[in-house]
Structure 1
Amino acid sequence: MIKKSKVILYLLFLFLLTGCTGAEELNIQAIVTAVGFDKGEDDQILTHFQIVYPGGSTARQGSAPIGGQGNAVYTYTIAADSMLETVDKARNLLPRKLFFPHIQIIIFGEDFARDVGFSYLVDYMERDNEIRDEIMVFTAKEDTAENILSSYTSLTANPSVGIIDRVNNTFSPMGLMNGIFLEEVIKWTYGERRDPVTMGIERSNPESESGNKGALDNIYANQNAFDLTGIPLYKGEYLLDWLSIKESKGWSLINDRVKKTLLITAPCPEVDNNSTFGFLIKDSKTKKEATIKGNQVDIAVSVTGRGILRELKCDGKVEDPAYLNKLKKAINEQMEMYMRQAVVKTKENQVDSFGFGQYLYRNNPNGWRQIEENWDSIYVDSTTITPNVHIDITGVGTRRKSTHEPDQIQ
């Protein structure tokens, strides 16, 4: 019995000594955190890999200078005719093997998105077992992916991390707390009855030389900052147009993508007052209801939630319930206007970026079969979208009276 126990113990010891089959050391891998695509010359595509350098300086990520010499990230650019050729060329250019599991963002330059289309990379991305689908997708507005990925950003040493943090900020412009991911873009384009969108991004100061590390020594940080701009509209894999920030808020509301908060500014209820007031919309929920009669489609989009007054430049008194109702009506009408404007822009471009066709397919399959073949024209010509917003005022901040009221200032 004792001999058997020794044998078992010996075998267990040998098992602990075994290594990982097929494992590779990190010091021979190039960890890719972002990939960008631009239209090159002679029908070639420029692919940009942003790679983390663990030995580089990370002084700006903490309170004290740490790390070694060099940059925290580097961007490599490769011109090729296909993704496979790009990866093959990278073997000669990079001193390390490309490592894809940590890709966080993909950026399309505007010319690439308009003229080439993202189908260029989809097949390779879907086949590679190292690449995750949970990658945020952006389109660079009137810019190249190279410029975005080559800009040093303040407060974060890695530009891709700074971009993701911008999206995850609760007060992001469109309320898109969770962003838009590669998995969704592929599903919308090839697996569902809708046209895709991505998120939009642009440099705050396109004329600045933010690719120079010296830009970080300038206290004026706007020159190397990014803005989350309006949502880009795609027809299939090609970029067509852009929604404005306000229209993008309407897109988020219709698609129930406002997961936490959304800031809305509306005109004051007083006719002779050109000032505004601001609301923080919280916990909004969107529901749709559709009817199909022949080729006529009517879709009611209802949004409910609550709002907190954050700024008031109006003449009314918030302690008056009747005036609060006027503010409530004004903010609801403003949100409905954003939604209508977003619908108008998609109809002008003849794209169903809201997935109304997919909604009809799932919720009214019999009616959908009658209009499916002509849905593109039916959506543009004979589909009515009616927004109904019901946001309740649940708070006015830490004071009841406005500082604009004369008796408040002594």
Structure 2
Amino acid sequence: MKIDDLYTLYAQEYKVDTDTRNIRKNSLFFALKGANFNGNEFAEQALDKGASYVIIDEKKFKVNNKCILVDNVLNTLQELANYHRNQLNIPFIALTGSNGKTTTKELINAVLSKKYKTVATKGNLNNHIGVPLTLLSIRLDTEIAIVEMGANHQNEIAFLSSIVEPDFGYITNFGKAHLEGFGSVEGVIKGKSELYDFLIENNKSVFINPDDKIQVAKTRNAKRIPFNESISFLEANPYVKLSFNNTILQSKLIGSYNYNNIAAAITIGNYFNVEKDQIINAIQSYSPTNNRSQIIEKNDLKIILDAYNANPSSMNAALDNLSLLNDVSKIAILGDMFELGTDSEYEHQSIVNLARDKGLHAIFIGKQFFNTDANERYEFFEDFISSFNIEKYRNSTILIKGSRGMALERILNYIN
């Protein structure tokens, strides 16, 4: 079946599903494959549950004419997403970066949605499957789309850019993330800058932080839109406070590292003519979720829950922020950082050294941190919990941060 014929079927309802547990009536079901599953096996079940058609790539699962056989289901999903994108005459904003992508995306969406009907990537569905699904969730009445793109290898951002074909782009920063895949910080810069390459080649526009020397250097040949000059940082103790057009904004985001995320959202909102008061309201009303820089008050504890993910750059920033707080008692509970490859041993020891240099009481959890010379370290989460005594932490501010696989938010279950 040709992609335009498949699009005709999609356009009947504009609904795509990939999980038979959540089938919507009259949707197109794409039978994707993974390391431990084969969606083709669920084709008949998807039809029984209400899908109008199923897209498969194994002939033996074709039970009737509602099964559309293609060469590769994933490729077809991506092609359909790009085809749909090209039916939409609206601005597409793409963003990537080592840290802060999701928070920045949510801030941009909060600001732009004050004036426009927007669609933004849900959660962090930002890979070769999530990006097409985001595009296919966009209805015809949408006015602006905000698409987050993630990557851990070269050429992934280039590929996602070819699907999204953004009109505008922003890269939050370049840091020590996914070093195992990118190979080095230089590899990270090259990989993330594939978004710049697409925008420059297609004469599109780039939002940049003029204080970031890498962004400035990489966008010399681009149509640049720098951060609004009327934005300035005031403090972060613990929440970020800034000035915009001579008005003070008090955000609900902690850490000076979130200032640039807010500045990007304000700049983009201002570019798209969102009223100043609406921008301010959006920023001041936004609250982080999903274990991202959340502050939780539990009895006499103040918990900075930043356990969604971690890499050396974000870990450094979190420890810097903790050390600058005026709180008397400060404790960092830190979990392993994943995907660092051959740099893992060095980077974990560097975090231990940093915490020590800043005079922070730090507790380290995970196999990588266990191999450092940290004073208080546990190889397994269960070892830490078995020795956990909440009484030692009373009247303290506690930072909880680690990679997603560490799931350090579980600590909250043991705090009462």
* Larger fraction in helix: 2
Tell me the TM-score range normalised by the shorter chain: under 0.3
Name which one, 1 or 2, has greater alpha-carbon Rg. Answer: 1
TM-score (norm 2): 0.25
* Larger fraction in strand: 1
TM-score (norm 1): 0.25
